[in-house]
Amino acid sequence: MIDDVADREHPAAERLSAYLANELSPEESDAIQEHVASCRLCAERLLDLQGFLGFKPQETSQGVTDLETAREWRRLWERIGGIEKQGSLDSSLERGRLLRSLRTFQVLAAVLGALSIGLTVYAVRLQGWPREIYPIPEKTVVFARMRSAGTLEEIDIKPPVALKFFVDADYPRYAVEIRARGGRLLYSYDRYRKADLDRSTLPLEAGDLAPGTYSLRLLGVRNGRPEPIGSPVKLIVHP
């Protein structure tokens, strides 16, 4: 047997046990059988495995065997204790490494967070709030050239609110005007393009307009000349 083990290759224990458990393909199984038929060592390994699988543990009898088992257990546990201590040392070292990594990560995260907040504040000051992080209610105002003259549309708003414009006339540029009841111009923005009108809004914060009634107009600008589109809209601002 001692010669058998080194004189030739033998199937791994995994394959032998898989053979017994019918987990191999017919070809692999046949190869194992062929090997086993000519290899006493492996045939006996299979029989050994059978012995393990058929093992029925018995209650330990008191006496010499039990004393020996107890002695062997103490011997084993002392040896295991060595790796246990080493293991706990390793894990404390590992924990230390982990904590250090965690602290580094926390510092990095704090720096990145501060940088991100700073950049956001700067961007907001520069460009105003992006719409997606400024979710104020929207109100659509329609300016239609085809609307019959004399029809005055009324819009009730309670700032903050974002006015969205719908228009049926094409101009290179558009302008929005908000006038007080006496006709005084309070707000004007004349650089809207059609695409801007479609995708952007005019945000009105509380305090931008005092509660009251205003006139809202949309003008089409062509060759530098503004032309009213439809009738002005009566804008009623509530506190």
Partner 1 sequence: MDDDPLLELIRQVQAGIRVEENFEKLFRRFRPLVHSFFLRKGFSAEESKDLTQEVFFRVFKSIDTFRGESRFERWLWKIVDSIYLNELRRRKTEKRHGIEQSLDARTETGDPSSPAVEIPATDLSPEERALQRQGLKILRVAFQDLPVQMRRCCILRYEKGFKYQEIAFVMKISIETVKAHLHQARKRLMDLLGGGPGSPKGNS
Site residues, partner 1 (CB under 8 A)? 1-3, 5-6, 10, 13-14, 16-17, 20-22, 33-34, 36-38, 40, 43, 45-53, 55, 57-58, 60, 65, 69, 72-73, 75-77, 79-80, 83
Q: Shortest approach of partner 1 to residue 120 CB, angstroms? A: 46
Look at strands 212-222 and 185-192 and give their pairing.
unpaired
Residues contacting 28, CB < 8 A, separation 6+: 15, 19
Q: Between 13 and 107, name the residue whose CB sits nearer to partner 1.
A: 13
Q: Between 70 and 121, name the residue whose CB sits nearer to partner 1.
A: 70
Distance from C-alpha of 25 to C-alpha of 16, rounded to nearest angstrom: 13
Q: Between 68 and 156, name the residue whose CB sits nearer to partner 1.
A: 68
* Helix, strand, coil % in the chain, rounded to nearest 5: 50, 25, 30
Q: DSSP 3-state assignment of 54?
A: coil
Q: Between 91 and 106, name the residue whose CB sits nearer to partner 1.
A: 91
Residue with tokens 């103490």: 74
Q: Shortest approach of partner 1 to residue 199 CB, angstroms? A: 57
Q: Shortest approach of partner 1 to residue 89 CB, angstroms? A: 16
User: Amino acid identity, residue 8?
Assistant: R
